[in-house]
């Protein structure tokens, strides 16, 4: 059976770039993009698009039947900072959208699921440096609790019902095409916009707050390659640690200054500082590298060059 893909949450930060790459890889007619609303963007204009509420089982089921979908990428979620402001809705959206898709797979209506987890599954009692795949996990944010619970359910559905669900724990993601929405790592995108526009940036995290980060092209590569890997290579069915670079606000500012010497940064930590302090500073992703051949391409200097070059054109 040929691969027919449904992306739920296709207009978000990851969904936008994932949709473009999946259309290029599998063909425009084999990829259905969907989101809660119809925007005026490339996701809507450049291929099949449907409005869908990720909390509506029947709507998702209808699309799966209409397009004979085999693989679902469930990208709809509330991220860490937004989730703290609306815990009940975050829990509802992040958990029940996952249950819908897991149950559709259990019922034999789809063959494969991609579901994103996050470094937010870790918490203040986790070792912060080179955080292992298997370690203490006591998330202290609503978002982290939902991702940690989701991981347990993914593993359960795989073990009990044979559901082929695959997942990675994304670090902070950086891209110039689509803005992030409501995360703690969003400063690392905003800083490039402000460096070009204003030559100065006020960071909501303190200067030495190290966090794991990744350029979007690497994240998309990881997402598609875990989905294309033979099932027997995916030995972890909760979620894989995934890593590329780790840096502090001070370090990213230094890398921007190499291109824009007059750039300045100051610091005004807000409620997101406590979230960042509870997360790892760097990640050990050796299982992903061994099991399904993960490798990143972008370090911080390359990412800074590409971000500044493309945002300047934009
Ligand atoms: C966030 O900051 O909430 C996200 C994440 C690390 O999952 N970017």
Tokens for 293?
């051949």
Domain identity same for 158 and 263: no
**Residue 234 Cβ < 6 Å to ligand 1:** no
**Residue 185 Cβ < 6 Å to ligand 1:** yes
b/e burial code for range 18-27 (CB count within 10 A of at least 16 → b): bbbbbbeebe
First to last CA, the chain: 40
Q: Domain with 204 in it: what CATH number?
A: 3.90.25.10
Average the pLDDT over 97-112 and give the result.
98
Q: Predicted confidence band at 172 (pLDDT cuts at 50, 70, 90)?
A: very high
CA distance 210 to 204: 13
Domain identity same for 264 and 121: no
Domain identity same for 47 and 120: yes
In the predicted structure, residue 13 carries a pLDDT above the cut 80: yes
Q: Domain with 43 in it: what CATH number?
A: 3.40.50.720
Domain identity same for 208 and 219: no
249 Cα: distance to centroid of ligand 1 (angstroms)? 16
Q: Which of 143, 192, 215, 240 is catalytic?
A: 143
pLDDT at 178: 85
Give the three-state DSSP class for 269: coil
38 Cα: distance to centroid of ligand 1 (angstroms)? 24
State the total domains in the chain: 2
Domain identity same for 44 and 84: yes
**Among 245, 226, 222, which residue's Cα sits nearest to residue 172?**
245
Domain identity same for 191 and 140: no
143 a catalytic residue: yes
Domain identity same for 139 and 100: yes
Domain identity same for 120 and 202: no
23 Cα: distance to centroid of ligand 1 (angstroms)? 25
**Helices vs. strands in the chain: H and E counts, helices first:** 12, 14
Atom of ligand 1 nearest to the CA of 171: 6
**Residue 30 Cβ < 6 Å to ligand 1:** no
Q: Is the pTM of this model over 0.85?
A: yes
304 Cα: distance to centroid of ligand 1 (angstroms)? 19
b/e burial code for range 146-158 (CB count within 10 A of at least 16 → b): bbbbbbebbbebb
In which domain, by residue range, is 44 found?
5-170+215-241
**Residue 80 Cβ < 6 Å to ligand 1:** yes
**Among 145, 90, 89, which residue's Cα sits nearest to residue 117?**
145
Tokens for 206?
């303190």
In the predicted structure, residue 229 carries a pLDDT above the cut 90: yes
Domain identity same for 61 and 152: yes
Average the pLDDT over 74-80 and give the result.
97
Domain identity same for 72 and 144: yes
**Residue 144 Cβ < 6 Å to ligand 1:** no
- Length of the chain measured in residues: 314
Domain boundary among 195, 223, 241: 241
Atom of ligand 1 nearest to the CA of 119: 6
């Amino acid at each position: 059976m040929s691969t027919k893909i449904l992306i739920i949450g296709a207009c978000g930060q990851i969904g936008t770039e994932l949709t473009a790459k999946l259309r290029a890889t599998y063909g425009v007619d084999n990829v259905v993009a969907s989101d809660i609303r119809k925007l005026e963007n490339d996701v809507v204009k450049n291929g099949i698009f449907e409005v869908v509420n990720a909390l509506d089982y029947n709507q998702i089921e209808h699309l799966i039947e209409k397009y004979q979908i085999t693989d679902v990428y469930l990208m709809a979620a509330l991220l860490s900072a937004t989730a703290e402001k609306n815990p009940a809705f975050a829990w509802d959206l992040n958990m029940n959208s996952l249950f819908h898709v897991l149950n559709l797979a259990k019922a034999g209506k789809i063959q494969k699921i991609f579901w994103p987890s996050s470094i937010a599954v870790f918490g203040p009692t986790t070792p912060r440096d080179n955080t292992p795949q298997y370690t203490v996990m006591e998330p202290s944010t609503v978002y982290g609790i939902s991702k940690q619970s989701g991981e347990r359910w993914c593993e359960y559905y795989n073990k009990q019902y044979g559901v082929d669900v695959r997942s990675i724990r994304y670090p902070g993601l950086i891209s110039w095409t689509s803005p992030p929405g409501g995360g703690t790592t969003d400063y690392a995108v905003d800083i490039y916009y402000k460096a070009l526009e204003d030559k100065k940036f006020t960071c909501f995290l303190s200067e030495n707050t190290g966090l794991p980060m990744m350029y979007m092209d690497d994240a998309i590569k990881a997402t598609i390659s875990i989905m294309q890997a033979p099932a027997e290579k995916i030995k972890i069915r909760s979620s894989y640690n995934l890593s590329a670079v780790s840096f502090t606000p001070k370090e990213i500012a230094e890398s921007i200054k190499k291109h824009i010497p007059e750039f300045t940064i100051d610091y005004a930590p807000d409620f997101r500082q406590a979230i960042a302090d509870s997360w790892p500073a760097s990640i050990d992703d050796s299982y992903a590298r061994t099991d399904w051949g993960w490798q990143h391409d972008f370090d911080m200097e390359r990412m800074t060059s590409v971000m500044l070059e493309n945002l300047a054109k934009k």
